[in-house]
Structures are given as structure tokens and as C-alpha cells.
Chains A and B, each alone.
Chain A
Amino acid sequence: MNSAQIEIQLIASLVAIACAIPGTFLVLRKMAMISDAISHSILPGIVIGFFITHNLNSPLLILLAALTGIITVILVEYIQKTGLVKEDTAIGLVFPALFSIGVIMIAKNANDVHLDVDAVLLGELAFAPFDRLLIDGVDFGPKSLWIIGIILLITVTLLIGFFKELKVSTFDKGLAASLGFSPAIIHYGLMSVSSVTTVGAFDAVGAILVVALMIAPAAAAYLLTKDLKKMLLLAIGFGVFGAISGYWFAYWLDASISGSITTMLGLLFLVVYLFAPNKGLISVMYREKQQRTEVSLLTFLLHLKNHSEESERHVNHLNEHINWQKVRSKVVLDLALKNNMIHIDNDIVSLTEKGDTFTSQAIDYIITNEDAQIEHMKDDFFLFRG
């Protein structure tokens, strides 16, 4: 690893951290798509800023572009407030229009602007180490490192300073307002931070990767934990992992770094989405199947309790009576046997004492329908789950 490689990975990791923090709150507040809108609509701000400053790294440009981001949010909210269209339509109308203006401004001035739409969308992290901050001829490292470092510092300071306010207003807007935190200030504060982060990061990693870095780590973390602090830390960890593994993936493929960071984040999310312990796809499907079998078992036990005549309880007739397929009936029958709910004499199925108690309690539950007691009952009675 040479020093340029280390610097690139450092920049990518800092961007990942700076994005993960506002991203977590955007995901929790159901405003993830706003980050997409901001990342597109800052384009005209960047172009105008570039006309004025002729320098992509100037702080004025970052402020101007961030302002466009906030204008987007205000415009979306204004259109939504008129009640003419829904919020998502408002988002979908505003950002393509602003983005188009940006693209046209670049196209019309293509000759005297050294700015490329592809570069805005994708960024080029590989060139970041070449644009260095020189003060009196002393090399202080790449400029993007300083920019994203300062943004990250501000973000972390704000996060620590206003953690409690953010937390309350994210999970209970009404409570936050009644405690005296202005929801508007927190909302626009978060929007401003997202906007500044997006602008600060776009030069290095491009607008689309900013969206990916904001949403994907937070979404993956949200599948793994319910604790806000843990979620923030996990999101940061995922972001940094994506940044560094993505860099080496791009190095190996010789392709766009931001593209491969996104791809790594995608793979990471896919793994979490499939295998997350409680909320992943596989465990959700397993739980659904388990619950389906257990409901079937309950139906079966109720059927047994309702019928004393032997013809209704003959093993071979069960399929017809409850209208299940063979495999399903066998699974349910086995489960009932394993749990000592039934016993079988001469192919006639009858409830054991335990099965009888369970069924009576279940009927009680079904009639009164009191909260989640059925899960406790299952814990009390079941030796094996479905």
C-alpha cells in the first residue's frame, strides 16, 4: 500500500462515517428518498457556485450547493402543503426539474466549464489524492480529506450536542414538541447536515454513492438492532467496511471506486437482509411457517375436542375432515405427538390430558382475545415448536 492508497481509503471511510450518521436518522424518520432528491438537485447549486468561484473545493461552492439542497426540501414541503399532490409525487417532481436545469447549464457552458455531469454523479475518488492542500508550500494532505474531515467534525459535534433532542423528535414528534424542542429546527437542522454532507462528499464519491452510503448501512443496521446508539455504530461500521472492501474490489477490477463501494454495500445489505437473526428474510419466512403449522395444530386439536365420535378421529380420515394435504397433516400430527398433546390407539386419535388443558385455554384465549398470551401458552406447553 502506498500513501495515495491509504489516503483514498481514509477519505472513503470518513465519507462513509459522515454519511452514516444523518442517514440513520433519515431512515428512521422515513425520509430516505429526500437524500436522493437532495443529491440530484444540488447540481444547479454546484454549477452556479463553480461559475462564481471556479474552484470545486471552495467553501462558498459547498454552501451554495447545500443551500440548493435546502431549497429542494422547502419546495417539496411547499408543494405538499398545497395538497395538490402527495409527498412522494412532490419529491419526484422537484428534483428532476432542478437536476435538468443543472445539466442544461453545464451543457450550454461546456466550453468554459471544466465540469462533467458524470463526475458529479460518480465522482472520482482515485484523483482525490492529487488535489492537495498547500499552505506556504507545505503539503497538508489532500483537500477532500480536509473538507470531509471538517464536515464530519461538525456532524459529530451536532450529534453529541443534540443527541437527546434528535432521539426524542425522531421517535415521538408530539412528545418532542411538548417538551419544547422545535420540530422545525431539528428537521431543518438534519436537512442542512444531510445537504452539506452530500455536497462535501459528491466531489470525492459522487451523488449516487452518497445516497447509497446514507441509506444502505443504516438500513442494514436497522435490521439488526432496535437500539439507536447500536444502530448508529453498526451503520458506521458497515459504511467503513463497504468503503475499504469496495476500494480493494475496484483495485482488483480496475473499475470505478464509488461503483464498487456501492456494490459492496449492496452485497452487505443482501447478506443482512437474508440472514439477520430476527428480521431477516429467512428467519421471517421460518417464523411464518412455524406459526402456520402451530395454527394448524390448534385447529386440529379443536377439531378433536369437538368430536367424540370415532369416525371423525380416524387417522386416515383426517385429510378429508380438515381438508389438509397429506404432508401437512403428517407434520401437524407429528408435532402434536411430540408435544404429548394426543395419543393414537388403533388409528383413533384422542386428546391427552395435557392436550385437553391446552385446548381449553386456547379456546379461552380465542374468545377473550387478550393480547399476546398465546405465545406464553405455547412456551408453557410446547416441548418442540412447529
Chain B
Amino acid sequence: MDIQEYFSLVFSDYTLRTITLGTAILGAVTGMLGSFAVLRKQSLLGDAISHAALPGIAIAFLLTGAKDSNTLLLGALISGLIGTFWIRGIITKTHLKSDTALGLILSLFFGFGMLLLTFIQKQPNANQAGLDKYLFGQAATLVESDVWLMAIITGICLVVLLLFWKEFKILLFDADYTKTIGFNTKFIDILITSFIVLAIVLGLQTVGVVLMSAMLLAPAAAARQWTNSLGVMVILAAIFGAFSGVVGTAISASQNNLSTGPVIVLVASVFVMFSFIFSPSRGLLFKQIRFIKNRRDLELHKTLAFMYNIAETHEDISHPHTIKILNNFQGFTRKTLQKLVDKNYVNLQGNMWSLTQEGFKTASNLYNQQSNNE
């Protein structure tokens, strides 16, 4: 199946429609909540939580013996929350730093989860096969009820986000101020963290434990490059997330042997790279162009100042000089000279140049009028 065929099938084929819808919703909700994680400098929390969710899945399976995805996700949610609060406990109560706490919880919970998974595999329960899909995710296992669950939780997220918009926003940018004007910062903090955990757990089935953190970060990091407004950023991140979900599913459906998770993550990474390079205000490309342009301007000014110093020594400021004397001067090129002519600062006659009245005036004021030029 190639990509074109995929897009013609999306609207008619039940499985494809479910999967595409599922990944799109997932991308949107993780993008939305990821914006908060990125801005709160909790980017790696997602990585830790998604790994910490693994033992929850295994324990839920051990307790119920069934592979109902809702129960498993509930287990994941609980162990993810335990991990989150343990991280918080380590950071606040001991002198270990946040990176140590994150790495610690991540690896310890994940290792424990893998222990349980291998333990389950040795059990005679025939039901156990397929639990390892939570490692890398398999979007193909999504069914309509999963998509409904995602949609409902996304709906709840949206409502909570809108209700607490101003609280979230103020906590993001000035936590101390939020506390002084009487908001319960602890509650808001726990609320937003819990929703981030929820979004991560929701994605485990599709993208998997290992790569879930990228789903949270990448759309938000990409969206951050295009705007300075929180509202726009959240919306953009949701769009980027949904889009990488759909494109990733399309690519992985059109090839054999491709897990959905890694492909979605790669698509999202491409978004990030594109945004890093091409964003108009922060992007590397335009930054470099601005940098070069500024340097050119500076060198142009330097040439002009050099000319001014020569012209000053003559009574007649438009006394012509040969171009040769400029030759060893840094910043001089035919092009910059032409630019000076275009600006009507300099007159060119054959091999000779001379300053115009205007050029002389500009050059004499070059260094004391810096502020007026702005």
C-alpha cells in the first residue's frame, strides 16, 4: 500500500480511520499539555513518567489476568503518579538534584517493570502475549473504544485547560506572584502535572513507553519557535502533534515492519528541525541572515568612515581619490561601493571616487547619531 492509497482508504476503511483518528487525537492532546511541560522546564519528566508507567501495566495484568486496555492504563496511571510524586519527594526532601531523581525513577521503575514482564512471560497464562507492545506501541491495536476514551479525556483536558487557563498561565510565568495573590499553587501544580501524566499514559498503547516523551516535547518545542503567546503556542502544538500523528501513521501503514511510534516521533522531529531552521523570528536561518546583514551594514559604515577621514584632510570634500587606496581596507568590495553610490553618498567617476555633500554629512554624524538611526 502506498501513501496515496492510504489517503483514499482513510475515509472508507474502518481500521485505518480508527488508527488515524486515534493518533491525531493523541498528538493533539500531548502537544497541548506538552507546551506546559516544556515551558515549566519539566521536559524530561515525561520521559521518567512514561518509563515509570511500565510496572503499573504489568501489575494490573498480574492482578486482573486480563488484557483489557482500560485496566492496564489505569495501572499505568497509578504507577506513573507514584513515580512523579516520588521524584518530587526526592527533589524537595534530599539534596539530590532533579536530573538524578528523574534518571533514578526512570531506570528503577522501568527495570522493575521489565522484571515483571519477564516474570509474566514465564506464567502459563496464554493471555500474556502482546504486553510488550507497550514498549514501542502498536497503533494497529487501537479499537474504537480506545479512540473514544482518548476523545473523552482530551475533552476533559480542554475543559480544565479553559477553566484554569489564567491560573496555569500565571503559575507558568511567575510562581511566586501566583502564591502571593492567594492562589493555591500546590493544587494548580498537581492538577497540571496529573494531566501531563494522564496524556502520557494515554499514548503508551500507540507510541510506547520508550518514545512517549518525544510526543510530549517535540510538538511543543516546534510550536515555541513560531510564537511568543501561550495561547497560540498551545494551539500550534496541538496542530503539529495531530499532524505528525496522521503523517506518521500514514507512513508506517504504507510500509511493512514499521512500528508506528518511532515513525511518529521521527515526523515530529522533522517538524522541530524545520521550525528551528525556518521560524522567522527565532529560526537559525533568518538569524544567520540578519547576522550577515548587520555585519555588512557595519562594514559599509566602516568604509564610509574611512572615506570621511580622507575627505576631511582636503578643503573640497568632493575632491576625487583613486579607488586603489581603498583596496587594502577591510569591508571594501565593488558591491559595497556601488551600494554607497546608490545611497547617493559617493560619486564614482572611472577609477576615482568622491564623497557627496550628503555622504560627508552622514559620515560625520555616523558615531554620534547611532540612536537616531534606529
* Chain A contact residues, CB within 8 Å of chain B: 27, 30-33, 35-36, 40, 79, 82, 84-86, 88-89, 91-93, 96-97, 99-101, 103-104, 107-108, 110, 117-118, 121-122, 208-209, 211-212, 214-216, 218-219, 222-223, 250, 253-256, 258-263, 265-266, 269, 273, 279-281, 284-285
Contacts and interface: CB of A to CB of B under 8 A. Distances in A.
Contacts of A255: 115-116, 118-119, 122
B103 A273 contact: no
A31 B44 CA distance: 12
Contacts of A108: 255, 257-258
Contacts of A100: 211, 214, 261-263, 265-266, 269
B100 A32 contact: yes
A172 to B, nearest CB: 17
A121 B107 CA distance: 11
Contacts of B335: none
A281 B210 CA distance: 30
B246 interface: no
Interface of B: 38, 41-44, 46-47, 51, 89-90, 93-97, 99-100, 102-104, 106-119, 122, 132, 135-136, 210-211, 213-214, 216-218, 221, 224-225, 255, 257-259, 261-263, 265-266, 269, 272, 276, 282, 284
A86 B41 contact: yes
Given A32-B100, A92-B43, A223 B94 contact: yes
Contacts of B269: 93, 96-97, 100
- Most interface-central of B104, B218, B269, B276 (chain A CB within 10 A): B104
A104 B96 CA distance: 36
B263 A33 contact: no
Contact of B99 (A33, A104, A216, A222): A33
A295 to B, nearest CB: 19
Contacts of B47: 36, 92
A281 B94 contact: yes
Contacts of A82: 276, 284
Contact of B118 (A212, A256, A269, A280): A256
A100 B260 CA distance: 10
7 contacts: A85-B224, A88-B99, A89-B217, A96-B213, A117-B136, A223-B96, A256-B117
The 5 closest A-B pairs by CB, nearest first: A262-B111, A259-B115, A96-B214, A100-B262, A212-B107
A263 B211 contact: no
Contact of B257 (A31, A107, A254): A107
Nearest to B100: A32
Contacts of A265: 108, 111
Nearest to B284: A82
Nearest to A103: B262
A192 to B, nearest CB: 19
B121 to A, nearest CB: 8
A110 B122 CA distance: 25
Contact of B104 (A101, A121, A219): A219
B111 A258 contact: yes
Contacts of A96: 210-211, 213-214, 218, 265, 269
B122 to A, nearest CB: 6
Contacts of A254: 119, 122
Contact of B110 (A33, A86, A208): A208
B214 A215 contact: no
A279 B94 CA distance: 6
Contact of A85 (B38, B115, B210, B258): B38
Given A88-B43, A255-B122, A266-B108, A104 B103 contact: no
B99 A31 contact: yes
A269 B108 contact: yes
A273 B265 CA distance: 35
A222 B96 contact: yes
A170 to B, nearest CB: 13
- Most interface-central of A122, A209, A254 (chain B CB within 10 A): A122
A40 B262 CA distance: 13
Contact of A262 (B42, B115, B218): B115
A292 to B, nearest CB: 15
A97 B111 contact: no
Nearest to A104: B262
A265 B103 CA distance: 13
Given A100-B211, A259-B118, A279 B95 contact: yes
Nearest to A250: B115
Given A110-B257, A255-B122, A258-B114, A93 B103 contact: no
A84 B89 contact: no
